[in-house]
Structure 1
Amino acid sequence: MKFEDIELVNNEAIHNFELMVDGHRSFIDYQVRGEKIYLIHTEVPEALQGRGVAEALVDKAFTYIESKGLKVVPLCAYVQIFLKKHPEWNRVVA
């Protein structure tokens, strides 16, 4: 499945980066403190698991975070695994 055409939504009211895929909402829960953004929890519905949704979500979130000049504090276990697989993104880590 291709995720390039699916837009990342920054739902600031509830501190979530969201991706809607096939009517299902995946999200990363975050908190912003100063110039740092703490990525707390990533959640993908069971219906979408194993399709690369979480990876696309984190990748899009990092692109957005970098564009805002923020630095990531990866508290989420999935985000930590993503960073091990994609060391090029260490440039956004606080």
Structure 2
Amino acid sequence: MPGVVLLALGVVWLIVQCGVGLLPLADAGSLEPVSRPERFWQFAFLGPSIPLALGLFLLRYRVRRFAQLKHESLNCAAYLLICAGVALVLGKLCVLLID
């Protein structure tokens, strides 16, 4: 159950984060344009990647107790690092596409 909640939280956060970033870029005539959108998009996916990684980890390894999480801490750290790395690469890709 906590894995599903974290996964849903991450997906909602990602949708909101992308929506907030796309609004100023959509119509610069009516909305206040962002002075440096690359600063936003560079780290836009980093925040939502953490609950997504934890949710996927909890669902994959079926972690139900803290003792089991402590036993699988190396796998959990690997999931977090991989998802954070992918999020940063996606952010850099968005910055390159904006320029």
Q: Given the two structures, how large is their TM-score scaled by the length of structure 1? A: 0.33
Query: Which protein shows a greater Rg?
Result: 2
TM-score when normalising by structure 2? 0.32
Higher fraction of strand: 1
Higher relative contact order (CA 8 A, sep 6+): 2
Kindly indicate which of the two structures has a greater share of residues assigned to helix: 2
